[in-house]
Structures are given as structure tokens and as C-alpha cells.
Amino acid sequence: MIRVASAAWWLQIRLLTTSPFFLGIALMTPLAYLAIALLIQGEDGSPARVTEHVIGAGLMGAWSATLYGAGEALYMQRWTGTLQLLVAAPRSLVGPVVGFSAAAVTLGGYSVVAVWVLARWVFGVSLTVQDGLAVAAGLVMCLLALSAIGMVLAAYYVLSRQALTVSNMLEYPIWIASGLLISTSVLWSPVVWVGKLLPFGWAVDVVHRGIAGEPYVSTLAMSVLVTSAYVGLGVFLLHRVDHAVRRTGRLGL
Amino acid sequence: MMTNVRLALLSGRLSYRALFSWNTPALFFAVLVFTPVLQIVFFVLLGRSLEYRDDLFFITGNALLGATAASVSGLVGVIAEERRFGTLSTILVSPASRVAVFVGRLLPGVVLAIGTAVFTSCLGFVAVGWPYSPLESLAYLAAITVAAFSGSALGLTLSAFGLIYRDIFQIATAAQFALLLLTGANVALDRLPEWAQGLALGLPLTHAVAGVRELTAAGVTTTFWSALGTDVLVGACWLGVGLVLMNVLERAARRGASLELY
């Protein structure tokens, strides 16, 4: 399965990096929102707040890249008629889907790094973190959490012709619930709880704690736990979807 | 003239019906309402988080932005999808007016964008307390309509590049971010660098947003109508550029035989 996942990852990376649209989305989305946050904030922002905005904007781009990248991967398989071949192959659907999700998240990683570099170059801001290890661990968990969410979404995308439409609807909810750019103190409590149901929300919290120098180990542990649960859920759903589409024979519709 | 109007209406009706071969109506309307509402919620919360302006600033700004952005991406999407389905060359070899065909396909989208902007505004106004008198509400509706018109004009200009360039959505995305950032919908113009303020004056929506800010602060004044008039003028300029570009780039695409490339 690792070989299949690696091949799918490499194929999808090559496809995504030749698409100006995806490269643009991964870069333009975070830059535009970062610019808005910095302009709104003006001179008032503390270094920690500015750092949260730079990393938060990069993670917004990472979520957009995951959402559209994972959706587009299966949409294009359906569009070109190769999704049936993928399902009919004597391999689990999990391998390719993990590869596709990981490719989208890799593009998300590019988004985080590119925004960091451009923020320094264009806006002249630098990152101030109290605990670099916590921030690094949080960022790694963010990308793993995005992969896990990508797997769960992929199960739906295999079944649905409307992957891209659904992708459009999911961008803002995760940005809001995960506390990216927006302080969770202004969110309504049910929304905060929705964020706690997502592995991404916990991972973002680890990053924020690292920036502020607060204790983070229990949050990191929760992030690992919830991400693992999402991976398990993704594998379960993909197996169910695999059986369902074989039984109903409606994949080509 | 009547032939072109008929062509535009027929083209719009057919393409709108075709939309539902790909989207279920329920999901389509969910997207139409859900995403614009969440965009407003996101910016309202961002404003509260950074203690910048009030909720109404973001509600009106993003409602107008929604009408404009839908108009921009609508027309770009028309040409991009025609190219994707391989039908762009069929349209261009027909003796029908291209502008009538493409604008016709945009019309349902613009009407829906205006409807969505009105709906999201109403939701926001109910949440924060209705800020306008009946007359001012009508003036606000006029501002939304103007924003949709000027956005469509920009969309026509950008979509012309779809005749020679495959990744037209990239241009549309860049334009949408420019509108998000530079028009005053989310950040007051005086916070932008000077060069960006100059650029903003040539964009659709900037003057309509300024008009709505005036409407909120002082009611229906001559400054409000003047701002809306300027936005119409900006839209008319983009429309002129779009029509010329359509003509020039269609000839370039025919000469280069590049329409079938995808």
C-alpha cells in the first residue's frame, strides 16, 4: 500500500505543480487574507499576534489547497473515466486516496512556507515564537490533520459528482471553527466545540500555544488522538464506499 | 438588436438549465446562500477579533463584494467551461454575436448574485438592527445592482483572455482577491498604500462601496449618487475594454488555432 500511496502522491504532486490555478490558490489565498489582517491591525499588533496571523494565513492556504486538491484529484479521475479503473484495481482504495491527500497537503506545506517568506519580504514582518519546538510540532500535526480530513472527505468525493461544489462550501467553516486569523475568544461557544471535534483545531491550538510559550503537551496529545481517529474513520469509510460502489455499479454515472 | 437580445435570453435560459445536470438544485442553492453568509460571518468575526469598525461595515462591504465577485467569476466560468467541453470553437464559428451568447449566459448568474446579496444583507441587518429607512433601503438595492453591473463588465474583460489562455480561473481568482483587498469592502481605503488607493479607483465596486459608506453615515445624498454614477462609469469603461478585447483576442485565437487546446 505504501508503494501505491507514494506513486499516487508523486503523480498528484506533478499534476498540481503544473497547474497555475492550484499554485496560485495556495499562495494568493493566504497572502490576501494576511494582507487584510495586517492592514486592519495597523500598527497595533503585538509580535505574537502578527506571528499568529502569518502562520494562520499560511494554514488557511493549506486548508484551501487540501480541500480543492483532494476534491479535484477525484473529480478529475471521475471526469477522465479513470475512477472506475482505480476502484476496480486489485488494491484498496485507501492507498491512492492517502497519496492524493498527502499531495494536496504537501502543496499546503508550500503555502505555509511561501507565506512566511513573502510576509517577511513584502510586509517586513518576522516571526516571534516562544517555543519553536511546539510550533514545529503543531505545524506537522496541522498537515497530518489536514491529510486525515482529506481522507474522510475523499470517501464522499468518490460517491459524489459535486466534489468541487462541496469544496466551495467547506472553506470558511473550517477557517472560522479552527481559530485561524480569528481569536477563539470572539467565537460562539458551539463553534468553538465544533473546532474541538476537528483534528485541525487542536493542531492550530498547539501552534498558538507554542507562539505564546504556554504548555502544549496535552493539546498535542489530543491532536494526535483526534487525528488518529479521523484516519481510522477515513479508512473505514473508504472501505465502505469501495464495497458500495462495486455493489451498486453507479460510479460511472 | 432584437435578435441579439433574444439570443442572449435563450442562451442564458439553456445554460442555466444545463447547470442542473451537474448540480442538484438543493446543493446549488445551499452554496448560493451558505458561502456568502459565512464570508460575512468570517469578516465580522475578524473585525471583532481585531476591534476594527462595526459589524455593519463588513455586512454591507461583503454583500456588495458577493454581487460583484459572482459576476466576475460567472463570465470567466462560462468561457472556461466552454473550452473544457470543447464547444468554444463551435460558438465562435457560428454567425451569432459572441457577446450576446456570453452575456446571456451570465444574466441568470447576475440576477442570482443580486438576489444573494440582498438576502445576505437582510440576514445581517436583522442580526444587527435594520440600519436604513425604506428609501435608503432602495438606494442600497441600487448600489448592489450597480456593483453587479460593474463586476460583470470586469468579468467580460477577463473572460476575453479565456480565448487565448487556458488557466483563466487563475486570473479570475487574482481579480477576486484584488476586489476583496482593495475596494474598501473589508479595509478602509485610507489604510492602503497610496499606489493601492490609486489602483482601487479603477476597480469596479470601490465607488459603490464608498457610496454605501456614505449612505450609512449620512443617508441618500448627492455624494451617494455621485459615487454610484462613478461606479457605473468605471463599469462602462471595463465594458468597452472587454468588447474590444473580445474582438481582438478572438481573431488571435482563430489565427493561432488555439481554441481546442486544453
Indicate the pLDDT class of residue B45, thresholds 50, 70 and 90: very high
- Tell whether A236 lies on the interface with B, counting CB pairs under 8 A: no
What was the ipTM of the complex prediction? Answer: 0.90
Q: Which whole number is the average pLDDT over A164-178?
A: 85
The domain tally of chain B equals 1
**3-state class (DSSP) for residue A224:** helix
Cell numbers standing for residue A46:
503585538
How confident is the model at residue B21, as a pLDDT?
53
In angstroms, the CA A38 to CA B55 distance is: 19
- Tell whether B127 lies on the interface with A, counting CB pairs under 8 A: no
- Tell whether A253 lies on the interface with B, counting CB pairs under 8 A: no
**B209 is a domain residue:** yes
Q: Higher model confidence: residue A60 or residue A164?
A: A60
Pairwise CB contact (< 8 Å): B170 & A36: no
How confident is the model at residue B134, as a pLDDT?
96
Q: pLDDT averaged over chain B?
A: 87
Indicate the pLDDT class of residue B20, thresholds 50, 70 and 90: low
- Tell whether A183 lies on the interface with B, counting CB pairs under 8 A: yes
Among A32, A42, A185, beta carbon nearest to B180: A32
Among A36, A42, A176, beta carbon nearest to B186: A36
Instruction: List CB contacts (< 8 A) between A35 and chain B.
Output: 181
Q: Which whole number is the average pLDDT over A3-29?
A: 85
Pairwise CB contact (< 8 Å): A37 & B173: no
- Look up residue A184 and give its amino acid: T
Pairwise CB contact (< 8 Å): A165 & B31: yes
**B261 is a domain residue:** no
Q: Higher model confidence: residue B247 or residue B46?
A: B46
- Tell whether B85 lies on the interface with A, counting CB pairs under 8 A: no
Pairwise CB contact (< 8 Å): B181 & A176: no
Number of CB atoms found within 10 A of residue A27's CB = 19
Residues 6+ apart with CB under 8 A from B190: B197
Give the lowest-confidence range in A178-182, B14-18, B67-71: B14-18
Task: Residue B242: give the domain boundaries.
Answer: 2-256
Pairwise CB contact (< 8 Å): B180 & A161: no
Distance from CA of A1 to the nearest CA of B (A): 33
Indicate the pLDDT class of residue B234, thresholds 50, 70 and 90: very high
Pairwise CB contact (< 8 Å): B170 & A21: yes
Instruction: List CB contacts (< 8 A) between A186 and chain B.
Output: 45, 48-49
Give tens-digit pLDDT for B123-171: 999 999 999 999 999 999 999 999 998 988 898 899 888 888 877 888 8
In angstroms, the CA A102 to CA B146 distance is: 44
Which spans in chain B are helix H?
2-19, 25-49, 55-85, 88-93, 98-128, 134-160, 168-182, 194-201, 206-218, 222-256
Indicate the pLDDT class of residue B261, thresholds 50, 70 and 90: low
Is pLDDT above 60 for B22? no
Instruction: List CB contacts (< 8 A) between B191 and chain A.
Output: 39-40, 42
Among A21, A36, A162, beta carbon nearest to B167: A21
B241-250 long-range contacts, Cβ below 8 Å, gap at least 24?
Answer: B241/B157, B242/B153, B242/B154, B242/B156, B242/B157, B242/B159, B242/B160, B243/B99, B243/B156, B245/B157, B245/B160, B245/B161, B246/B98, B246/B99, B246/B156, B246/B160, B246/B163, B249/B160, B249/B161, B249/B163, B249/B164, B250/B92, B250/B98, B250/B163
Among A19, A29, A182, beta carbon nearest to B46: A182
Question: Nearest-CA residue of chain A relative to B32?
Answer: A169
Give tens-digit pLDDT for B89-121: 888 888 888 778 777 777 777 888 899 899 999
Pairwise CB contact (< 8 Å): A165 & B169: no
| Residue A223 to residues A151, A202, B221, Cα–Cα distance (Å) | 16, 5, 55
Residues 6+ apart with CB under 8 A from B111: none
In angstroms, the CA A155 to CA A74 distance is: 10
- Tell whether A29 lies on the interface with B, counting CB pairs under 8 A: yes
The answer to whether residues A170 and A252 touch, using CB atoms and an 8 Å cutoff, is no
Which of B169, B177, B195 to probe the A interface (max A CBs under 10 A)? B177
Question: Nearest-CA residue of chain B relative to A36?
Answer: B181
The answer to whether residues A38 and A99 touch, using CB atoms and an 8 Å cutoff, is no
Among B22, B46, B177, beta carbon nearest to A32: B177
